[in-house]
Amino acid sequence: MATVPGTMRGVLIESTGGTEVLQYKTDIPVPEPKEGEILVKNYCIGINYIDIYFRTGLYPSPKPEILGREAAGHIVALGPNAPTSFRLGDRVVYLGAGTYAEYSTTSAAKTALIPSSVSSSDAAASFLQGLTALTLVREAYPVKPGEFILVHAAAGGTGLWLCQILKSIGARTIGTVSTEAKAELARRNGAEFVVVYGREDVVERVKEITQGEGVAAVFDGVGKDTFEGDLEAVSRKGTVVTFGNASGPVPPFTISRLSAKNVKLARPMLYNYIYTRGEFDHHTNELFRFIVEGKANIHVHEIYPLQDVARAHTDLEGRKTTGKLLLKP
Ligand code: NDP
């Protein structure tokens, strides 16, 4: 195994702001794994919308900071008391922090061995968004076959996973997207109906499709622009799951409004569904089974070189992308 160098390439931010704060550096010290941690040489890094929230400051985090919340690679060092289930050379995918870099340390608790039939890039392209979609449909609102479900940004990274998983459950997905090309992709990935927002009225189309009933649940990662419509599109006793802020955060809300239809409202975060090792393994195993059994269509928009990270962020924020964006260190 190659020795670990003292410095590495990575993307650092010292303050919050636009893409101009993303600094590609070639002399960042390689971190040392602490108690229970492992050091991974990253092969492929996943970009997620949450990276933009940390860059802009919508979600606060200490600076300077190396952005990035997931990656896949192989283990090059083990910290003191790292679990014996991990060995040098193992291929792993993990959720952590500071992944926009050649090397990252990560807690073994949020690290999984990649099954031999799954490539490292497919693992990095699937992990955070696939787990998010799975935990939403299993836990935030346990979806049943035949139910109508509304999914916003259906051609996005998380959206395409939702479409595929909902289809495998036998649910009837109504996806929303911004363009006809995205509509076609969402359909190919399992959405039975797709509404192009801006061109058609989402609530009216949902009412038409569901014969006035509304949907059993809404999965909404768009936030500010779609939340009011969610309350109209959801059925009596239905569930609105708001899990992101791509268009901005949902403004403060008067909870008594939920009584108009006895609606349930959830605002989940992935980490609270995979908090224990048992929960993490349970959902990770289901995700890997889905992939290994050939049920997943892993759609990668583009693999960007690490130094092109600003272009990747511009594309994601500019709604130019579909599926997953990856960085190659
Ligand atoms: P996506 O690939 O879905 O990209 C975001 C998409 O949102 C865009 O492609 C766009 O699709 C849509 N969108 C609608 N309005 C806007 C806007 N004003 N600006 C930008 N995009 C807009 O990203 P991810 O899959 O990474 O994340 C999707 C959402 O899920 C995010 O809000 C993210 O924070 C959230 N999330 C939450 C998690 C949690 O634990 N709670 C975990 C993972 C993700 P279109 O052009 O079709 O409208």
**One domain, residues 95 and 214:** no
CATH number at residue 160: 3.40.50.720
Residue 210 CA, ligand 1 centroid: distance in Å: 25
**One domain, residues 260 and 180:** yes
First to last CA, the chain: 19
Mean pLDDT of 131-145: 98
Tokens of 255: 């909870």
**One domain, residues 108 and 172:** no
**One domain, residues 53 and 12:** yes
Residue 3 CB partners (closer than 8 Å, separation 6+):
none
pLDDT exceeds 80 at position 1? no
**One domain, residues 107 and 136:** no
pLDDT exceeds 70 at position 202? yes
Query: What is the spatial distance between Cα 89 and Cα 72, in angstroms, rounded to a whole number?
Result: 12
The ligand 1 atom at the shortest distance from the C-alpha of residue 268 is 41
What burial class does residue 168 get, using C-beta atoms within 10 Å of its C-beta: 0-12 exposed, 13-18 middle, 19+ buried? middle
CATH number at residue 319: 3.90.180.10
**One domain, residues 150 and 257:** yes
- β-strand 111-113 against 148-151: which pairing, if any? unpaired
* Tens digit of each residue's pLDDT (9 = 90 or more) over 260-289: 999 999 999 999 999 999 999 999 999 999
Q: How many domains does the chain have?
A: 2
Mean pLDDT of 112-122: 97
Please work out whether the CB of residue 47 comes within 6 Å of at least one atom of ligand 1.
Answer: no
Residue 150 CA, ligand 1 centroid: distance in Å: 15
Please work out whether the CB of residue 221 comes within 6 Å of at least one atom of ligand 1.
Answer: yes
**One domain, residues 216 and 156:** yes
Residue 244 CA, ligand 1 centroid: distance in Å: 7
Is 124 inside a domain boundary? no
Residue 90 CA, ligand 1 centroid: distance in Å: 32
Q: Where is average pLDDT lowest: 5-9, 83-87, 147-151?
A: 83-87
**One domain, residues 100 and 165:** no
ipTM: 0.99
Three-state DSSP state, 57:
coil
Is 243 inside a domain boundary? yes
Is 275 inside a domain boundary? no
What's the mean pLDDT when you consider all of the chain? 97
Is 127 inside a domain boundary? no
Please, which residues bridge with residue 325 across strands? Answer: 47, 302
Whole-number pLDDT of residue 270: 98
- β-strand 300-305 against 324-328: which pairing, if any? parallel
Is 136 inside a domain boundary? yes
> Domain containing 212: what range?
132-269
Domain boundary residue, one of 230, 247, 269: 269
Return the H-helix or E-strand segment holding 150. Answer: strand 148-151
Whether this model's pTM surpasses 0.95: yes
Residue 323 CA, ligand 1 centroid: distance in Å: 10
**One domain, residues 257 and 310:** no
Is 288 inside a domain boundary? no
pLDDT exceeds 70 at position 54? yes
| Res. 2 pLDDT band, cuts 50 70 90 | low
Q: How far is CA 289 from each of CA 13, 130, 231, rounded to the nearest angstrom? A: 37, 12, 34
Tokens of 293: 């059994």
**One domain, residues 90 and 136:** no
**One domain, residues 141 and 265:** yes
Helices (H), 93-198: 120-135, 157-169, 180-188
**One domain, residues 150 and 246:** yes
Please work out whether the CB of residue 48 comes within 6 Å of at least one atom of ligand 1.
Answer: yes
Return the H-helix or E-strand segment holding 173. Answer: strand 172-177
Mutate to test the pocket of ligand 1, among 49, 279, 298 (most ligand atoms within 8 A of CB): 49
